[in-house]
Amino acid sequence: MSRLLENDSLDLLAHYRVPVPAYGTAETPDEAASIVEKLGGRAVLKALVPAGKRGLAGAVRFVSSSGEAEDEARRILGMTVRYFPVKRLIIMETLEIRREFFFSITFDPTRKCPVVLFSPTGGVDIEEITAERPEHLFELPVNIIRGLEVYQCTDFIETSGVESGLALKCARAAQSAYQAFRAADSRMIEINPLAELVNGEVIAGSGAVILDEQALFRQPELKKKLGKEQGNGWRPLTELENCIRKIDSIDPHVCAIRFNELDGDIAFLVSGGGYGLSSFEQIIREGGRPATTFDITPGPFEEKMFRIVKAVCKMPGLRGMVLSANVSNFARVDRRVAGIVRALKELDIDYKHLPVIVRYDGPGADDARKMMAEVPGPEMYGAESTLEDICKRIVERSYDNGVKQQ
């Protein structure tokens, strides 16, 4: 998942004139203490990781001196928060908050437009609040041609019960955030809390931005910010996942790859939306343990499939590999299989201990079968074999070699 860290999210929001707190980043306790001094001796320290619920994990601390900041920074920098090791901190000025709101912009694929979400009850427990009291979450679809106007957003926020003067201030911040959302090709921007301070000002107390991965080619500067701390949404990327991302970057506009490494032993390279999901579940029902999730969109497959197969076959502990897709209509099967065959010819595979099952059909299927026949060992099937057939077959071959599943 292309989620900007909080400092980069706040940088983006500030660039589009969303009011944000003063903040800095630190990699050492000494740096943290220095920043706290510059902020007047009082600040809040947060783990700088692409994950939420940091406060519940003990990775958010308020400090009232540089010495206290140094101690807390040393403790937080040694933590792991939701699988992410904490290597940096964001240190922010403390805010005198009178009231907290929740604000977010996301894209609704059903309505095919951006949607503004607003709740007059914000804070860290927003998920629980909206689950228990859904009437506290208000939605505003945005006409992507007209954009989001301040007057329109003011009226919307007033319907949630916020008084007009405060609603106007929130609306101005919302419009600026929407400009950032559009300019950065975002999938989601969340400000929680959008805070009213005791002096009457409205400020983004925290920010999170998720970018559209398929639009990153238009955002080279933002793409550079997606560094080693980037993850897949719930943990850091593995070495293999980073390798597959590099393969995908060969041409990110066609044959887009979605890939995750799992704690299993059957390499699962089955694509096709519902077909892939059903196959994944079927392998589990048969007693198999998938080692990956995978999807690839149509296009000139050969080079990417060649590199993917070579990379995945290096996974330790593999007992089998299955490659399949639903029956193709427009994408040629032989181009996909050509890459697989190239990889298998270069790999030294003992197919008795690492069975490979291939199942494709569609345009070019006859040529694909001829190519696959050049590699003795793998099994290839077409439309005559069902999804259930190949899932059962790969599980049987993977675990019936004298090696029982643990």
| Residue 324 belongs to a domain | yes
What percent of the chain lies above the pLDDT cut of 90?
Answer: 76
CA dist., res. 45 & res. 223, Å (int): 26
Domain extent at residue 78: 22-93
- Asked if residue 106 and residue 44 are part of one domain, the reply reads no
- Asked if residue 114 and residue 82 are part of one domain, the reply reads no
| Residue 382 belongs to a domain | yes
pTM of the model: 0.78
- Asked if residue 103 and residue 87 are part of one domain, the reply reads no
**CATH code of 45's domain:** 3.30.1490.20
**CATH code of 330's domain:** 3.40.50.261
- Asked if residue 267 and residue 172 are part of one domain, the reply reads no
With tokens 């390499």, the residue in question is 267
**CATH code of 179's domain:** 3.30.470.20
3-state helix, strand, coil in the chain (%, to 5): 35, 25, 40
The string of DSSP letters for 200-247 reads S-EEES-EEEEE-GGGGGG-HHHHHT--TT-BSSSSBPPHHHHHHHHH
Instruction: Give the type of residue at 360.
Output: Y
- Asked if residue 386 and residue 294 are part of one domain, the reply reads yes
What is the pLDDT at residue 280? 95
| Residue 230 belongs to a domain | no
pLDDT, tens only, 290-339: 999 999 988 888 999 999 999 999 999 999 999 999 887 778 899 999 99
> Quick check: 405 pLDDT over 50?
no
pLDDT, tens only, 260-300: 999 999 999 999 888 899 999 999 999 999 999 999 988 88
- Asked if residue 245 and residue 392 are part of one domain, the reply reads yes
| Residue 253 belongs to a domain | yes
Q: Which of 51, 71, 93 is the last residue of a domain?
A: 93
- Asked if residue 370 and residue 254 are part of one domain, the reply reads yes
| Residue 258 belongs to a domain | yes
**Whole-Å CA distances, 28 to 31, 86, 91, 161:** 5, 11, 12, 44
| Residue 3 belongs to a domain | no
Q: Which of 201, 224, 247 is the last residue of a domain?
A: 224
| Residue 282 belongs to a domain | yes
Give the single-character DSSP code of 290.
B
pLDDT, tens only, 232-250: 777 888 999 999 989 998 8
What's the number of domains the chain is made of? Answer: 3
| Residue 51 belongs to a domain | yes
- Asked if residue 315 and residue 194 are part of one domain, the reply reads no
Q: Which of 53, 69, 93 is the last residue of a domain?
A: 93
209, 226 contact by CB (below 8 A) = no
What is the pLDDT at residue 131? 73
Please give the mean pLDDT across all residues of the chain. Answer: 91
- Asked if residue 258 and residue 174 are part of one domain, the reply reads no
- Asked if residue 383 and residue 254 are part of one domain, the reply reads yes
Quick one: pLDDT band at residue 1, thresholds 50, 70, 90?
low
Cis check for the bond before 376: say yes or no (omega within 30 of 0). no
- Asked if residue 257 and residue 163 are part of one domain, the reply reads no
Quick one: pLDDT band at residue 344, thresholds 50, 70, 90?
very high
pLDDT, tens only, 134-180: 788 899 999 999 999 999 999 999 999 999 999 999 999 999 999 99
Q: Which residues pair with 103 in a beta bridge?
A: 118, 191
Q: Phi, psi at residue 220, to the nearest 5°?
A: -60, -35
With tokens 């290597």, the residue in question is 87
- Asked if residue 146 and residue 211 are part of one domain, the reply reads yes
